[in-house]
Amino acid sequence: MRNWKIISIFATKEQKTDMPQLLITVSDSTHLPHLRTAIRQLKGVEQVAMLRSAKKRKSLIRQGKLHRELQERVDSFGQFTDGWDGSDSKAIEAVCIRKFKAAIEKTDEKLLQGWLLFPDAHGYLYLDYTGGNAVAGITMTNDRMIYFFKKDGKTIKNDRAAFTTRNFLAILERVHG
Amino acid sequence: MAEQYPQIVGEDERVARIIFSPSYIYNGHVSPTAFRWDILPSGLAEDYISVLRGDESSLDAQTKHFRVRKEGDVRYGYALLGVGSIRDIGKGAIDMQTKVDVLSFPSKTHPNHAGIVVEVSNKRVTALTPVTPEIMMVQKELAMRCSEIVKF
């Protein structure tokens, strides 16, 4: 039997079907057919695919403890009802929660470091960041994001960014970049 | 007779904002959204962020009747902020158009009641003002300037 080694294994989700996915990186692609055969024989495996292109490799997203914490926390906010923080406070909007969950699903673990999620009594979500040389805040509504970040003495602010995964990732990358 | 407080809130005083858990505190951090403008049950939109002045040892007793706002939440405690530190936010920490002050708003039941007043571009922020980056920045500054979080 040839010598080969697994470089990394991490869990993610298939983008179209949302099914759990395991991504395995090996030292030598010539070993992939053997690995594929072995994995196909395992119970519960629906599909085995090999990613070869650089473009597809870039799409790999590491998920871990921060993802789990944020998912659990946002789910708990989904239980809030009107009046959760005084008579004028509103339940957190379901569309906002769904969009946030979809966005962090596509966000690498390292970009989530330093961010804390809080509810906002307007029915929004608020993502708060305090890092070494930066502070930031993102208010997420059903359709837009209102945000600021202060970094290296410079302030960026926007009150009309569409709440899309792409825009969400762009903000996090700028704060961490 | 209820204790009297000077009408002008002193620069070296500290004020307390009541914090509910787990909504507004997480991993030892106070949420900027904890500093919010309420609409009172009467329908009046507050134009200040409500805080309490004075003897911190009496805050627990004073706020015992405050209703817990959501099932699962507890009256966690309070965050303390220096009045001078709050006023400094309005001295260019955000921009030159954002002003922050602490004013006395005594009531019969709470003679030590005060409010953090914010003006953005000469307009006083109220509970009806839409969220803007400038308001979020003030809230963030307030959260960062909590000198102490005291549990009840």
Residues A71 and A97 in one domain: yes
Residue B131 is classified by DSSP as P
Spatial separation of the C-alpha atoms in residues B81 and B17, rounded to whole Å: 8
Nearest to B133 among A80, A85, A148 (CB): A148
Residues A16 and A84 in one domain: no
Residues A157 and A133 in one domain: yes
With contacts defined as CB-CB under 8 Å, which chain B residues touch A73? Answer: 26
Distance of CA A1 to the CA centre of its chain: 39
pLDDT in tens, B4-40: 888 999 999 999 998 875 678 898 899 999 999 999 8
Residues A49 and A105 in one domain: no
Phi-psi region of A16 (alpha: psi -120 to 50; beta: other; left: phi over 0): alpha
| Domain finish residue from A19, A42, A58 | A58
Q: Tell me how crowded residue B120 is: count the other CB atoms within 10 A of its CB.
A: 20
Residues A93 and A48 in one domain: no
pTM: 0.80
Q: Best residue in A139, A147, A154, A155 to probe B by mutation, most B CBs within 10 Å?
A: A139
Q: Within a domain: residue A1?
A: no
With contacts defined as CB-CB under 8 Å, which chain B residues touch A155? Answer: 95, 137
Nearest CA in chain A to B144: A130
Distance from CA of B70 to the nearest CA of A (A): 5
- Interface predicted TM-score of the whole assembly (ipTM), two decimals: 0.90
Location of structure tokens 């395991």: A22
Residues A77 and A21 in one domain: no
User: Computed from CA positions of residues A6, A7, A11, A17, in that sequence, does the dihedral angle turn out positive or negative?
Assistant: negative
Instruction: Provide the residue-wise pLDDT of chain B in tens; the chain has 152 residues.
Output: 457 888 999 999 999 998 875 678 898 899 999 999 999 888 899 999 999 998 777 777 777 666 655 565 567 788 999 999 999 999 988 888 999 999 999 988 889 999 999 999 999 999 999 999 999 999 999 999 998 888 88
| Domain finish residue from A23, A42, A58 | A58
Distance from CA of B133 to the nearest CA of A (A): 6
DSSP-assigned states of every residue in chain A: -----EEEEEEEE-TTT--EEEEEEES-GGGHHHHHHHHHTSTT--------SHHHHHT-----HHHHHHHHHHHHHTT--TTBTBTT--PPPHHHHHHHHHHHHTS-GGGGTTEEEEEETTTEEEEEEE-SSEEEEEEE-SSEEEEEEEETTEEEEEEEEE--HHHHHHHHHHHH-
One-letter amino acid at A52 equals R
Residues A149 and A80 in one domain: yes
Residues A33 and A78 in one domain: no
Which residues, in sequence order, are bridge partners of residue A171?
A: none
Residues A48 and A107 in one domain: no
Number of domains comprising chain A: 2
Give residue A81's domain range: 65-176
